[in-house]
Structure 1
Amino acid sequence: MDLIRLAISKPVSVAVGVVMVVMFGLIGVGAIPIQLTPNVDRPIITVTTNWPGRTPEEIVDRITKEQEEVLKNVENLKSMRSVTSDTGVTVTLEFYLGTEIDRARLEVSDALRRVPDYPEDATEPVIQASEGSNENAIAWIMIELPPEAREALGGFDITTLQDDLDREVKPYLERIPGVAQVNIFGGRPREMQVLIDPVALAQRGITYDRLITALRAENRDVAAGAVPEGKRDYRIRVMGKYRSAEDVAATVIAHQNGDPVRVADVARVRLGYDRPRGFVRSVHGPALAMNVIRQNDANVMDLMAELRRRLAQVQRDVLPRIHPDAGPHLRLRQVYDETTYIASSIDLVVQNLWVGGSIAAFVLLLFLRSFIATGVIAVAIPISVIGTFLALLGLGRTLNVVSLAGLAFAVGMVVDNAIVVLENIDRRRSMGESATVAAHRGGREVFGAILASTLTTVAVFVPILTIQEEAGQLFRDISLAIVASVSLSLIVSVTVIPAACAMWLPEHHMMRSRLLRSFQTLFGLAPALARLVDAAGRAMLWTMTGWRGWTIRPALILLLTAASLVGAVKLMPDLDYLPAGNRNLVFGGLLIPPGYSVEQTGSIADRIEDHIRPYVGVGPGDDDRLAALPPI
């Protein structure tokens, strides 16, 4: 089938096809998830086991080593890393790419069942599957209490609101479509504390282990079977779990001389809070921090819009109910919003698309010297670019700075095929052929050339699609964008361009206007440039003839080669995996000696904050205050 003849004979069908591609491409733009960078999937499974109140050495001996021994033989395991603290251990397992994460999680669960024994007061291991792209939070929020409110409340400790936020705020935010997890940092959960009197315990001859055993034995609900009663069976369950401090205090530890010895006789029971294991501070003093982690392939822009709405609702309706005194004074402050960086990055790439497209159109106009011919070729840019959005949506990709960069690169590539086709049609038109015949013959003559050119371009980027490692996943979108846009430009060049030329490309003798004739010569610039090219050609010919061919010509070649090498070395930028971004959030790590207390760590943080505090509130445009700031 002669596709070019068919397109020329049915221009209305070609126009309808173009409208449909553009229309569905624009619809696809709104449906594609918007993210900062492409999803880079790294199959990772974390195993968390808590054993609070123990030293890291004891946790390593009783839990970490046992888990590592059974997990090291899991199939397709690439690396294993464990972190042990005074609250428990977290084992991170990374698998090779292509590993089915659900199957790997089952194998990890089966392996953990082979652990011989766990301490009685250790929690069951929690297995969680995650992916590398979900580790970055898209938002950080501070929960603060203004200094004046804290003083009015007698130094209220905001860290005691951990459980209230876990119960009221965290589930509400995690129900947002696209949110994978919400984490709260810096708080202290409630706990029942038994403050033992060693003297009273020694006087009654009771050991610590006996007291702990008694508490553990009583703090449980026990099923006691079923009792038939008429037509029904009633299941009996003995409720023994502690509900209050009084229940704990009434627990019988032992009997001495016929009298029970209760917890209240040897200890004081109270409902308190866990000891501080870390802290979060803001410019206003102690605070709580909360981050939001997105799900894979979530639309960050839509997610953030819903998150802002719910944060406003939490500030207005939820926080005042959390605490009767401090609740109305609590403030939510979002300190990081990934969409700000995404929007600025996407706006920059879109701006480059417009600028690149405009420059390409101007260069075409400069060389073709025909508004009609330039307009015909310029049509290939929006059709190919907008149609690429459909390809990205169909392949399940996201709209990010990498895929948009691929489109920016493709702006200058998509017009190559159209220029070749139009130039050949214009050549045959100048030979006196009719518009229809010139469009058909001109397109057919160069079809093989533009097909080979397109296939060679596609062949360069297709191998990137087969790379499964992190680099391949990162640059897959740019390859897909270029391959899709260049392939669409081939279709446009053999359908839209011939049909448009057959209808609109005028004959050369029709341009009789003095203004058009002046424009054809670029108002005298084209002849001058032609004379300059002729002079350069004669100069090159002069260097290649006679004795100059073995003296001046090699010297020029060596000089230009050396200049190119020196320029390349001087202008080469620093090598890096990815360019440094300009995000409005900085994380700094401080390595302190092991075993430092929270108080000592806080004193170190105080000294750091004293150096950073002068920079707080200074904007980038405040030159006078910036100049007066001391060096960090």
Structure 2
Amino acid sequence: MTLSELCIRRPVMTILLTAALVLGGLAAYRQLPVAALPRVDFPVINVSATLPGASPETMAASVASPLEREFSTIAGIDTITSTSSLGNTSITIQFVLERDIDAAAQDVQAAIARTQRRLPAEMTTAPSYRKVNPADQPVLMLALSSPTLTLSALNDFAETAVQPKVATLPGVAQVQIYGAQKYAVRVQVDPNALAVRGIGIDELQRSLAAANANTPVGTLSGARQQLVLAANPQLPDADAFRGLIVAYRNGAPVRLGDVATVLDSVENARTASWHNGTRAIVMAVQRQPDANTVDVVDRVRNLLPTFRAQLPPSAKVDVVNDRSTSIREAVEDVQFTLGLIIALVVLVIFLFLRRLTATMIPALTVPVSLIATAGGMHLMGFSIDNISLMALTLAVGLVVDDAIVMMENIVRYVEEGMPPFEAAIKGSREIGFTIISITVSLVAVFIPILLMGGVVGRVFHSFALVVTMSISASAFVALTLTPMMCARLLTHETHKPKEGWFGRILEGGFSAMHRGYASTLRLALRHRPVMGLVMIATVVGSALLFQAIPKGFFPTEDIGQITVSTEAAPDISFPAMAERQQEAARIVAAHPAVADMTSAVAIGGNSVNTGRMFVVLKPRSERPPAGEVIQQLRRQLSGIPGFAVYMQPIQNLRIGGRSSKSQYQYTIQGLNPEELYVWSGRLERALNDISILQDVTSDLQLNSPQAYVHVDREKAATLGIGVDQVRSTLYSAFGQRQVSTIYTPTNDYQVLIELAPKYQQDDNALSRIYVRSGSGKLVPLDAFASVQRTAGPLTVNHQGQLPAVTVSFNVAPGHSLGEAVDMIRQAEVEMALPPGITTGFAGTAQVFEDAQKSQGLLLLAAVLVIYIVLGVLYESFIHPLTILSGLPSAAIGALATLMVFGQELSVIAIIGILMLIGIVKKNAIMMIDFAIDAQRNQGMSPREAIEQACLLRFRPIMMTTVTAIVGTLPIAVAHGAAAELRQPLGLAVVGGLCVSQILTLYITPVLYLYMEDAGNAVSRLWKRRSAAAPEAPHPVPGAE
């Protein structure tokens, strides 16, 4: 007894099993998380270190290099990159996908501890690490502003009330404050006043530190009681510091206010942020790798009522740059598309069958299969995202096929006069193997995807498994619920019911199609050589189109957010940079497509000549595509003199840990920094000459002006002055040195010392700096040191512990990443780089280049796996080739459609072609399976068998193909959120099905006859050879 017969005879069992699947799936669906993409983030840890006032070269040599050497001993590292700027070092460690990030974090922490003793003694704060990708965009930004409160007060609220609570939420990696204005007491020293009084700036620094100490003083313990000793509290603000006595001269006290201007200021006055043109404190929330964006945003938003209740009435918290908005919109759009596709598929079935009962039987397969798949998704830990929903959407056109094939076979016997119960048993037994063959061979298409590694494999593992679970569920329903319903719901009728006028038109049209196909099929079978040439032409054509079509990676999404990087000359002052940044921000905010904008200068440890803008666009229905908005803004912003602007749309899929101003990255490395800088400049100019590249820029800025202080060591030694004493004095004068800390119950604030701003404007100020000599006298610095103007790098970058320069670029509209990669490689060859210089793409471009090498292999592997599966199922070497004969025509249709609509052959399109492989061969299986059975069991000739198979299976073939096309068409023409991600797949499937549907109906039967002839010829040859072989001699009894 087959499974179908068991379910036909036991309807209660079948209904209850189906109900259990549905209820379990519904319960699981409610628990599925919502995301943009499957969890594909590389484990990334970012280590940051600060040494205020240290040059980029000093940070790279004394901080970055020791840490990198220690990190390189950790297992499972993919890449290590670092960026060292003025006073800051940021090291990004990207691990392989399989590495557990929590275990990696422990290894990083241990490595930092081991390196601590080799770091500069002046580093008052140890390096810190966070589980965050610094190149990843914030998932949410909060802007604090007030017309009355100071920025320092807002910053204090952000640091003490908001940041700690948000940072401890599950999934949050860090909360950065852009434009931080943390309170500090700033001591701006007048060097002339110090000189007159014979006080060195180093002495002033030590006096300040000693006067504001916060050390324990002990306890008094008596026989009956204990007293805790307390001394004078710390000085709380600038007013208290002004009266501080720092020295005595001629018996009179010298107060701090006599030699310096003491201000209530901020720690870093050279950074700022704005929200829609208003100064604000902006908090950027970044998620941990693999954390769910929607969950993180929801947790932060749940805290907003508490934050708003704590703020004074004059202050407000605005939510800006919510990345979850686009994710929710995309999911809602795909869910609507899914519902639309289900309705269209059911309508197509009804138009073919024109009976409500007959339509309901296969249509019920769709919701049951999809809901059951939700249960499997929950067990596999998947989410509701663009990829999984795209898989479910595509599955709609597939899951109904098995039920259609099953019901059509049963209905055929019912219409011949057989009782529905008997027809269900016979029809299901006859078609059961076909359904299993279709399902197993379709699932086999996705085996290569499941074996794919890297980030692309991670993205599409869920796609392959969701489609596999849907198809498997539909096969189960087709073998159980569908025949049971046919046996119970179909009526025993020998004639079709009377059709209405609409039904007669449809049936007449289909009958005309059937007659036309019958006559053209016989014509094709009579002219087999012509069809053979057509088949060869499809093979050649598909190969040529595959070579000609532009290659891409993931389609560029339009999620309604743009990031803008700005850059001015390295020697620009902070006020000048802030003015230009605001001018650019006003131009951006005035664009009719812009809804919200956040702007900042010198954030994240970057220099004052850099800025960022985070732009939120209006809904898609109210604006042009983001790419057009970027092109329009690029033209408008080009008029700002000495100001470079780089724009790119924010993407849900970000690969790599290095931030760049443009979307794609190309890295040059070398052992010799001078040689590296020369060749990187040449390569950057060569890339600028490539017409299809835009926004070509480098992270190397060599023209940063520097004042090099050359100490004459002999003179200094004669005076009893050490070089370290000189460095310390310079640091106190120009390094914004932290000399003391003011502790409060809620926060701590720094006391900073520096020369007054008017003495920091040029290198002449060095002549006013005095150093205490060994004899106790103050000696002017220019007595034993000189100043030389030089130029050096604004940042020093490493990759894999070697000096590196990263050139980033965007691809011009109408061109593909594949074209750009090829042209860059060609430019590299023409330059003839020396042996010490190595190059390579990074981030997304690197993954694309790796994926390009395996695309053809992936398609061949899918075809080979299907061939093996079909060969096993049909016990034949030749008929799997017959079944696969429609693939070249499908490839032509898919590739041609993509080219007509201006789409690249992206990874998404490749997955669509893999889907085609599974869909197209289903039609051939229905024909070949019937023909083989007719030959073996009914004694038909190959010509009669294949002709009858084609004509009898024409209706289910048309139904399954039309439902597949209708089920995919809304994806191909979608214009909703994240539609760019889905369109290539939809276009490939629709185009491939339309072309292959026409050609396969003729090529497959012709190839079937060719294969039968070839098989018979081989059999005859084998028999002749067997008959001609000499008979082996028989042993003679008793010979031994």
The one-letter amino acid paired with 1:135 is: D
Q: Using structure 2 for the length normalisation, give the TM-score.
A: 0.52
The corresponding residue for 2:85 is: 85
> Does 1:140 pair with 2:141?
yes
The one-letter amino acid paired with 2:481 is: V
Deviations 1:504-551 (A, max 9, x none): 122232x5632389948844223322222233234435545xxxx5xx
Change (3 A) 1:10 1:81: same
Change (3 A) 1:197 1:420: same
Structure-2 separation of matches of 1:617 and 1:201: 57
Change (3 A) 1:72 1:299: closer
Secondary structure of the equivalent of 2:29? helix
> Does 1:581 pair with 2:557?
yes
1:7–1:495 contact (8 Å) kept in structure 2: yes
Structure-2 separation of matches of 1:201 and 1:425: 104
The corresponding residue for 1:8 is: 8
1:160–1:187 contact (8 Å) kept in structure 2: no
Change (3 A) 1:524 1:8: same
Which of 322, 326, 332 is matched with 1:337 structurally?
322
* Deviation larger for 402-411 or 203-212: 203-212
The corresponding residue for 2:908 is: none
1:222–1:237 contact (8 Å) kept in structure 2: no
**Cα offset, 1:126, TM superposition:** 0.8
Aligned runs of 1:178-197 on 2, under 5 Å?
179-197=172-190
The corresponding residue for 1:324 is: none
**Cα offset, 1:562, TM superposition:** 7.8
Secondary structure of the equivalent of 1:280? strand
> Does 1:318 pair with 2:310?
yes
2:50–2:123 contact (8 Å) kept in structure 1: no
Deviations 1:53-107 (A, max 9, x none): 4433343343223323333333322222222233421111112222232332222
The corresponding residue for 1:129 is: 131
> Does 1:102 pair with 2:102?
yes
1:44–1:94 contact (8 Å) kept in structure 2: yes
Aligned runs of 1:137-536 on 2, under 5 Å?
137-144=138-145, 158=151, 161-174=154-167, 179-217=172-210, 219-223=212-216, 229=222, 243-245=236-238, 263=256, 266-294=259-287, 304=297, 307-308=300-301, 310-311=303-304, 314-315=307-308, 317-319=309-311, 321=312, 328=314, 330-430=315-415, 432-509=417-494, 511=495, 513-515=497-499, 519=503, 522-536=506-520
Change (3 A) 1:278 1:262: closer
Structure-2 separation of matches of 1:488 and 1:617: 45
Change (3 A) 1:343 1:108: closer
Which of 572, 592, 596 is matched with 2:572 structurally?
596
Structure-2 separation of matches of 1:275 and 1:181: 20
1:176–1:306 contact (8 Å) kept in structure 2: yes
* Deviation larger for 382-391 or 95-104: 95-104
Secondary structure of the equivalent of 2:566? coil
Change (3 A) 1:608 1:223: closer
Structure-2 separation of matches of 1:43 and 1:564: 39
**Cα offset, 1:587, TM superposition:** 0.6
CA RMSD of aligned residues (A): 3.9
Structure-2 separation of matches of 1:333 and 1:485: 43
Change (3 A) 1:462 1:277: farther
* Deviation larger for 229-238 or 601-610: 229-238
Deviations 1:218-243 (A, max 9, x none): 55544566765559887878787654
The one-letter amino acid paired with 1:604 is: R
* Deviation larger for 519-528 or 205-214: 519-528
Which of 537, 562, 565 is matched with 2:521 structurally?
537
Change (3 A) 1:575 1:555: closer
1:178–1:298 contact (8 Å) kept in structure 2: yes
Deviations 1:33-57 (A, max 9, x none): 1112222221111111122244333
Secondary structure of the equivalent of 1:32? coil
**Cα offset, 1:476, TM superposition:** 2.1
Secondary structure of the equivalent of 2:89? strand
1:227–1:235 contact (8 Å) kept in structure 2: yes
1:36–1:400 contact (8 Å) kept in structure 2: yes
Change (3 A) 1:98 1:120: same
Structure-2 separation of matches of 1:584 and 1:553: 50
Structure-2 separation of matches of 1:499 and 1:160: 73
* Deviation larger for 580-589 or 378-387: 580-589
2:212–2:235 contact (8 Å) kept in structure 1: yes
Change (3 A) 1:189 1:313: same
* Deviation larger for 472-481 or 348-357: 348-357
The one-letter amino acid paired with 2:180 is: G
Structure-2 separation of matches of 1:232 and 1:516: 106
**Cα offset, 1:378, TM superposition:** 1.1
1:369–1:520 contact (8 Å) kept in structure 2: no
Secondary structure of the equivalent of 1:98? coil
Structure-1 separation of matches of 2:82 and 2:575: 26
1:222–1:239 contact (8 Å) kept in structure 2: no
**Cα offset, 1:484, TM superposition:** 1.3
Change (3 A) 1:39 1:73: same
The one-letter amino acid paired with 1:118 is: P
The corresponding residue for 2:990 is: none
The one-letter amino acid paired with 2:284 is: N
Deviations 1:282-327 (A, max 9, x none): 4434333333334567665566556556546645x333x2xxxxx6
The one-letter amino acid paired with 1:365 is: F
**Cα offset, 1:381, TM superposition:** 0.8
The one-letter amino acid paired with 1:529 is: M
1:297–1:398 contact (8 Å) kept in structure 2: no
The one-letter amino acid paired with 1:608 is: A
The one-letter amino acid paired with 2:9 is: S
2:418–2:492 contact (8 Å) kept in structure 1: no
Change (3 A) 1:110 1:380: same
The corresponding residue for 2:833 is: none
The one-letter amino acid paired with 1:122 is: T
The corresponding residue for 1:32 is: 32
2:139–2:287 contact (8 Å) kept in structure 1: yes
Structure-2 separation of matches of 1:603 and 1:143: 21
Structure-2 separation of matches of 1:308 and 1:487: 40
Secondary structure of the equivalent of 1:49? strand
Structure-2 separation of matches of 1:346 and 1:622: 21
Structure-2 separation of matches of 1:7 and 1:239: 89
Q: Flag structure 2 segments of 5+ consecutive residues without an equivalent.
A: 595-617, 637-1040
Change (3 A) 1:496 1:520: farther
The corresponding residue for 1:19 is: 19
Alignment coverage as a number of residue pairs: 602
**Cα offset, 1:108, TM superposition:** 2.1
The corresponding residue for 2:903 is: none
The one-letter amino acid paired with 2:510 is: A
Structure-1 separation of matches of 2:173 and 2:45: 15
Determine what percentage of the aligned residue pairs are the same residue: 26
Deviations 1:453-509 (A, max 9, x none): 322322332443344421122222212211111121122122211221221122232
> Does 1:75 pair with 2:67?
no
1:33–1:297 contact (8 Å) kept in structure 2: no
